[in-house]
Amino acid sequence: MANNRIISRKENFADWYTSVINEANLVQYTDMKGFTIFEPNGWRIWERIRNDLDVKFKAMGINNLYMPLLIPMSEFEKEKEHVEGFAPELFTVTQIGDKKLDDLLVIRPTSEIWFCKYFKNKIKSYKDLPLLTNQWTSVLRAEKNTRPFLRNTEFHWHETHCAFASHQDADTFARRFLDLYANFCENELCIPVIKGAKTVNERFAGATMTYTIESMMQDGQALQSATSHVLGQNFAIPYDIKFQDANNQLQYAYTTSHGLTTRIIGAIIMVHGDDNGLVLPFNIAECQIKIICLFANKNPQVYDYAKKIHDQLIKNYRCEIIDSDKGIGYLLAESEVQGTPINLVVGPQDLQDQTFTFIRRDDGIKNTTKIDELDLSIEAAVKEYKANLFNKAKQRLDNNIVMINNFDELKSVIDNKQWAKCYFNGSADDEQKIKELTGATARCILLEPSPVTKKCFYTGQDTNQIVIFAKAY
């Protein structure tokens, strides 16, 4: 059923996105640009993502810790590329009480520096490696244009920082982490992704290699959904992170960092949402199944019947009974805008017939089923729900990546709100020129080079490197 307060995606995709956030009560705006209050509905999504990933991290041997909020500017300046990359985004503390500071304090835009200082103190021998650590926190980065989840001044994330004895170990772990992200997005969030490496222009400040997963939104724009960085010895040398190797020689460690932020919630909205609101992936919905009682106030046995269904399902699913005097239309519309994957409706007639009606959020189809088929019908519905969400998004991705051979084709594809796939080995200046002319950036270099060498569409030079160009959030 239509929600008149949600803007149509075709009418204005940006306004649709904002209206879904508002109607689903995900955040509340504040008087400070880029700072939002997470409403319970929004924070529950992040908690589910965080808790799921945290289990996966711990299974990899990663330990959680917490780093200080403030960083001395003098520490930032030890790694020049890092500070130059973040300089326009830094929040600084210039005074404490009535005392002005000679060494300014930076509110963390990321915590590489504290992790480096921690590693320096913890690592003495090759036997201390690898050292795998993570923190769940928020960071501050000044943003000119802000939008909830996608670009916030303050955003929440995890940052995993690890130290290794060799570059090979660091790179292998970074790729392993990339696979973890990709599997999480595809299996838990039903979002298909493209895995790749960033070009020099797009790498994280201070990284020797940045791996990325890119996802396609319904408006054709790309969203960088998570990144995995190989930092080489770029931080180990200035911060003196050394270890004694098996030959009793001092060596500098190799470090990595990895991050996924609350912008992934924006991806969930823009990949799966529709003109009626959120469509939540089943695995991260706080309430996976709502059981809505009709006329339970007039017939208490209806509630008892709903409770019987609830008690059977709660063994395997997160479910909730809704017993309200509000009309069925209102209750279903509320559940729809919040993205509840499955709604079960039970009333006096169902009690008599020993049936229930279930409605899947992804297709809105209603099915009436006998109560003795409850487990099998829900199991099948959940499987179909997950597959449908993923397959719709995967079809959109596959149908909108177009191989191009020259600049005119690139411009046409980008103007058509699609992604361009091409042979490309251009320079950072070439990328900048392409961005100025089309608005598109190099999203990633595909990890597997082409077995065939062809001419770069822009430089005309031979290359087997394939790159994705797209407009992006």
User: CB of 384 within 8 A of CB of 341?
Assistant: no
Please give the pLDDT value at position 445.
98
CA nearest neighbour of 216 among 236, 231, 194, 200 = 194
Please give the pLDDT value at position 296.
73
Per this entry, what is the length of the chain?
Answer: 473
Residue 407: other Cβ atoms inside 10 A: 15
Please give the pLDDT value at position 295.
83
Structure tokens at 449: 């080079």
Please give the pLDDT value at position 212.
98
Cα–Cα distance, 378 to 442 (Å, whole number): 43
pLDDT below 50 — which residues of the chain?
Answer: none
DSSP readout, 389-417? HHHHHHHHHHHTEEE--SHHHHHHHHHTT
Structure tokens at 127: 């036997």
Handedness of CA 351, 355, 360, 363 (dihedral sign): negative
Helix (H) or strand (E) holding 315, with range, is none
In the DSSP assignment, the letter for residue 375 is: H
Cα–Cα distance, 293 to 346 (Å, whole number): 5
User: What integer best gives the mean pLDDT of the chain?
Assistant: 95
User: CB of 233 within 8 A of CB of 171?
Assistant: no
- Rg of the chain on CA atoms, in Å: 25
SS (H, E, C) 37-86: EECHHHHHHHHHHHHHHHHHHHHCCCEECCCCCEEEHHHHCCCHHHHHHH
Q: How far apart are the first and last CA of the chain?
A: 30
The number of CA neighbours under 13 Å toward the Cβ of 383 is 6
In the DSSP assignment, the letter for residue 472 is: B
User: CB of 160 within 8 A of CB of 258?
Assistant: yes
In the DSSP assignment, the letter for residue 274 is: B
DSSP readout, 14-35? HHHHHHHHHHTT-EEE-SSTT-
3-state DSSP helix/strand/coil percent for the chain, to nearest 5? 35, 30, 35
User: CB of 172 within 8 A of CB of 191?
Assistant: no
Handedness of CA 51, 56, 61, 67 (dihedral sign): negative
Q: How far is the CA of 366 from the CAs of 3, 99, 357, 379, 457, in angstroms?
A: 18, 67, 7, 16, 50
* Sheet containing strand 99-107, strands side by side: 70-72, 99-107, 91-96
Cα–Cα distance, 138 to 250 (Å, whole number): 35
User: CB of 178 within 8 A of CB of 426?
Assistant: no
